[in-house]
Amino acid sequence: MDLFQKCQDYTIVKEVMDAGLYPYFHALQSGQDTVVTMEGHRTIMIGSNNYLGLTSDPRVIEAAVEAVKKYGSGCSGSRFLNGTLDIHLELERQLAEFLHKDGCITFSTGFQSNLGIISAIAGRNDIIICDKENHASIYDACRLSFATMVRFKHNDMEDLERLLREAPDSKGRLIVTDGVFSMGGEICNLPKIVELARKYGARIMIDDAHGLGVLGETGRGTAEHFGLMGEVDIIMGTFSKSLASLGGFMVAKADVINYVKHTSRPFIFSASIPPANVAAALCALNILKKEPERVRSVNAVADYMKELMKKNGIPLRETRTPIIPVMTYDDMRTFKICKELLEEGVYVNPTISPAVPQGQSMIRTSYTATHTRELMDEAIEKFVKVFSKY
């Protein structure tokens, strides 16, 4: 059989394109902001993870520019060898301090962070217990680790306890969960997870990519939201969302950081984060520290939009985060609605099977601290116009 036969048989994308409904790879001609220029048209952006609105902040941009001037465009090597800059170390120091942990290690992308953490920490004699709706990078990391991976029903604590109870005492146990689930916007049940981890001697890792800058009084994420900052063993986060850059990190106890730093193949054998990205993330972190009101602002914007959607009969799934899923149920219907919204000047993200169960397709909308009520009023008018047809 020809290796490429699968490529020739993969016709669904062409079929959607031929129908004029292909919803991906729309090009921006402007920076990421609340309003962008997309394919030549003014577009309200409610499909970005720019939660704190910092990608267009002049201070962040200037920090990135100055870093390029000082350090050049790249590091030309891994952190393990020639690719460590003093600003890498400063960013790690500040993240560890901010999240109340002993140490921190940074990775070149968020996806790579989960690969690097989990594949180093968990081995053949360990069990990783995952929420079924965890991010794809967590599942790929589990495969790379060679540990046994079992899944509990989404946010189902009885099912989690069943799996913990069945796990042999001879094996190390790691509970891994998203803090904020990226598609549905729900928050994990961290208090119960902590209780069960204590009961069964397990460790906890939270992927807080969508929690940092969004949850907690000061934006420290899911653990702060629940008052459990000292109870999570490993917190993973990214720079590509609230911190307006690219990359990822883990914070944990010093001995855990030291172990991952010297055994994680995705970390050791990857080039380090470029200077501009490090400086942008560091600047964004300092803005978050000085301006925690941005956390309240992004949630206030999302709350305002939820009320508008409810008032106008838009079928949303209730969440407590700036991620608001709008139910569309059918894949092709989702494509049609996204296309019509874009034509009206509103960008949203289609989410279809297998990312969600068949028949549960939805539009993922997400909000930014710098969105105004006027923009949300304009966006809801477009939603009502399009959804009234369906």
**Nearest to residue 306, comparing CAs of 376, 360, 370, 217?**
376
Residue among 56, 57, 36, 31 nearest 46 (CA): 36
Examine the residue annotation and report whether 241 is marked as an active-site residue of this protein. Answer: yes
Angle at which helices 373-387 and 293-311 cross, to 10°: 30
Q: What is d(CA 25, CA 16) in angstroms, rounded to the nearest whole number?
A: 14
* CB-based contact 145:117 (threshold 8 Å): no
Q: Are 232 and 206 in contact (CB under 8 A)?
A: yes
Give dist(CA 77, CA 271) in Å, integer.
5
The whole-angstrom separation of Cα 338 and Cα 334 is: 6
154 is known as an active-site residue: no
Which candidate in 88, 101, 135, 210 is catalytic? 210
119 is catalytic: no
Instruction: Please choose, from the candidates 311, 295, 303, 308, the residue with its C-alpha nearest in 3D space to the C-alpha of residue 346.
Output: 308
Longest pairwise C-alpha distance within the chain: 60
What is 314-376 written as a DSSP string? --BPP-SSSEEEEEEESHHHHHHHHHHHHHHTEE-EEE-TTTS-TT-EEEEEE--TT--HHHH
**Active-site residue, selected from the candidate residues 241, 336, 371, 382:** 241
Q: Which of 108, 145, 182, 264 is catalytic?
A: 182
In 3D, which of 183, 168, 172 has the Cα closest to residue 205? 172
Q: Which residues are catalytic?
A: 182, 210, 241
